[in-house]
Copies of this chain bind each other. A is one copy, B any other.
Amino acid sequence: MPSETCHCIVLRQASRKVSSYYDEALAPLGVNIGQFSLLRNINRLEPVSLTELAGKVELDRSTVGRNTKVLERMGLVAIGHGEDQREAMLTLTEKGRHLLEKGAPLWDSVQENIEIRLGPEKTKQLLDLLRAL
């Protein structure tokens, strides 16, 4: 017989909670962890199309499209066109690049905090388990 508490709900709660840790740390920069992560992925892959980016971050293309539109409005990302006129090619703006630099130590501190609190052993366990789901 399965246990009482829904694994999914526990996961979602943890997800919201941990997100808020990162969000608070990044708040001075005006971005949340989802946006910060997206910026880092664009930085790593640029120039990158919406579809490609969506594949990497395992989100729906339309979701990534809307999220990047917010980043564009903030002046952090530029949305242009590649050779293929259908593709929306994403690149970071200077402001976006600058934000990543500013944000790196903030992100590090939360990430490290979690690892210290769990210990290296359990941190690895957790990530392995999450990926096994």
Complex Cα distance, B9 from A107, in Å, reads 12
Residue of B33, B108, B132 near A8 (CB, 8 A) is B33
Give chain B residues whose Cβ lies under 8 Å from the Cβ of A9: 33, 37, 57
| Nearest CB of B to A25, in Å | 10
* Interface of chain A residues 90 through 133 with chain B (CB within 8 A): 107-108, 110-112, 114-115, 117-118, 122-123, 125-127, 129-133
Whether a CB of chain B sits under 8 angstroms from the CB of A12 is yes
The answer to whether A6 and B37 have CB atoms under 8 Å apart is: yes
Q: Report the minimal beta-carbon distance from A72 to chain B, rounded to whole angstroms.
A: 21
Q: Can you list 23 A-B pairs with a CB-CB distance of less than 8 A?
A: A1-B112, A2-B111, A2-B115, A3-B111, A3-B115, A3-B127, A7-B114, A7-B115, A7-B123, A8-B18, A9-B37, A11-B14, A12-B15, A12-B19, A14-B15, A14-B131, A15-B15, A16-B58, A17-B133, A118-B133, A122-B132, A125-B129, A126-B129
Using a CB–CB cutoff of 8 Å, the interface residues on chain A facing chain B are 1-3, 5-19, 21-22, 33-34, 37, 57-58, 107-108, 110-112, 114-115, 117-118, 122-123, 125-127, 129-133
